[in-house]
Amino acid sequence: MRAYNFSAGPAVLPLPVLEQARDELIEWRGGASVMEVSHRGRDFMAVAERAEADLRDLLAIPSNYRVLFMQGGATIQFAAVPMNLAAAGAPADYVHTGHWSERAIKEGRRFVSAAVIADEAESAYTTVPDRAQVQPRRGSAYLHYTPNETIGGVEFPYVPEAGDVPLVADMSSTILSRPIEVSRFGLIYAGAQKNIGPSGIAVVIVRDDLARGARPGTPSVLDYRAVAEAGSMLNTPPTFAWYFAGLVFQWLKREGGVAEMARRNRAKAAALYAAIEASSFYSSPVAKHCRSWMNVPFRLAKPDLEQTFLAEADDAGLTHLAGHRSVGGMRASLYNAMPIEGVHALVGFMADFERRYG
């Protein structure tokens, strides 16, 4: 019996995709597993090409952007971005909205002169800065921000205006959850394990002029130009993760693409936030205008009941609802593969729990 898995990442994957991967696990094209064949062979090359084509299609990625499949998760992009987009010690701007942007800033400081142009510390990272506050400095190498903070559950309701400064977005926990206008970004990156597939691979969507060669000293596997020229196969890629991501892209297309995902994700988030709002037993720490569709943190009016809540939820088949260890409370992640039925089950459980303990 599969539970409704609200894990923040690695996270729920679409059941039809898991079933397809299971059916193909041992004998895939030509009688071997996809994990057992060369990444440079015809069969895997076809997988790689189709995955890129489908992702381009899903996000309407313009032709002047390269799509890279890289290793090292989103975390290595915290370093790869400055190494590719900025000279050593050059100015680069960051927006600080919580845990993941802080990690990007800390790593960025090893490579650039990073300025935090907006910091939501005063709100304890429960909101995002106003549009007008997010202004990059003239001559900055890039402006980095985190459209969705996976731990804090705050999400930008707008795309910052960066003018001539390339806008860089860590979309790890929001990519493919809705349509985006890729041309507004210089670079988008995302670790796979939230909304794309298994961990072990990351997607980078980078405008041509930002992939013209990294600074001296950059390892070739982190140099966007070198990776692009090698078709993301400078070395052996994580073939299973890439294959699986490709199956997820096909599933997304069959389901109606990112516009349909947006419709479903909006409805799922609305149902859960409505339940939280309707009760004085549950509360959301996040400002209303920037509540995430993907990661919904919430608290109990009686925090000493948290462990009971989590244990009973688990027994009811609603799993991985504990908030990040740094913040506590609860968090329900509602990625594309979480069906609305899972949210209804959670809302029903919450109402029942409140009746019994409220």
Ligand X SMILES: *Cc1c(COP(=O)(O)O)cnc(C)c1O
Site for ligand X in 85-144 (CB under 6 A): 100
Among 93, 107, 170, 223, binds ligand X (CB under 6 A): 170
The stretch among 68-76, 237-245, 320-328, 329-337 that binds ligand X (CB under 6 A) is: 68-76
What is the smallest separation between the CB atom of 146 and ligand X, expressed in angstroms?
A: 5
Q: Angle at which helices 239-254 and 257-277 pack, to 10 degrees?
A: 80
- State the pairing for strand pair 295-300/202-207: unpaired
What is the smallest separation between the CB atom of 226 and ligand X, expressed in angstroms?
A: 21
What is the smallest separation between the CB atom of 194 and ligand X, expressed in angstroms?
A: 6
The stretch among 67-75, 254-262, 319-327, 329-337 that binds ligand X (CB under 6 A) is: 67-75
Among 127, 135, 140, 146, binds ligand X (CB under 6 A): 146
| 9 near ligand X (CB under 6 A) | yes
- Among 28, 54, 93, 194, the active-site one is 194
In sequence order, what are the residues at sequence separation of 6 or more whose Cβ sits closer than 8 angstroms to the Cβ of residue 24?
A: 33, 34
CB of 294 closer than 8 Å to CB of 265: yes
Distance CA 300, CA 318 (A): 17
Residue 251 known to be catalytic:
no
The stretch among 54-62, 169-177, 299-307, 322-330 that binds ligand X (CB under 6 A) is: 169-177
Count of residues that interact with ligand X, criterion CB under 6 A = 12
In sequence order, what are the residues at sequence separation of 6 or more whose Cβ sits closer than 8 angstroms to the Cβ of residue 149?
A: 97, 98, 99, 100, 101, 125, 155, 173, 292, 295
Site for ligand X in 172-211 (CB under 6 A): 172-173, 191, 194
* Residue nearest to ligand X according to CB distances in the complex: 73
Q: φ, ψ for residue 294 (rounded to 5)?
A: -100, -40
Cα-Cα-Cα-Cα dihedral of 96, 99, 103, 105, to 10°? Answer: 10
Nearer to ligand X, 55 or 79 (CB): 79
Of 200, 173, 203, residue with least CA distance to 188: 203
| 74 near ligand X (CB under 6 A) | yes
Residue 194 known to be catalytic:
yes
Distance CA 79, CA 222 (A): 9
Distance CA 51, CA 36 (A): 19
What is the smallest separation between the CB atom of 63 and ligand X, expressed in angstroms?
A: 27
Residue 170 known to be catalytic:
yes
The stretch among 27-35, 50-58, 70-78, 247-255 that binds ligand X (CB under 6 A) is: 70-78
| 292 near ligand X (CB under 6 A) | no
Distances (CA, A) of 321 to 6, 123, 297, 338: 6, 24, 9, 13
Distance CA 185, CA 193 (A): 22
Binding residues (CB under 6 A) for ligand X: these are 9, 73-75, 100, 146, 150, 170, 172-173, 191, 194
Annotated catalytic sites, by residue? 100, 170, 194
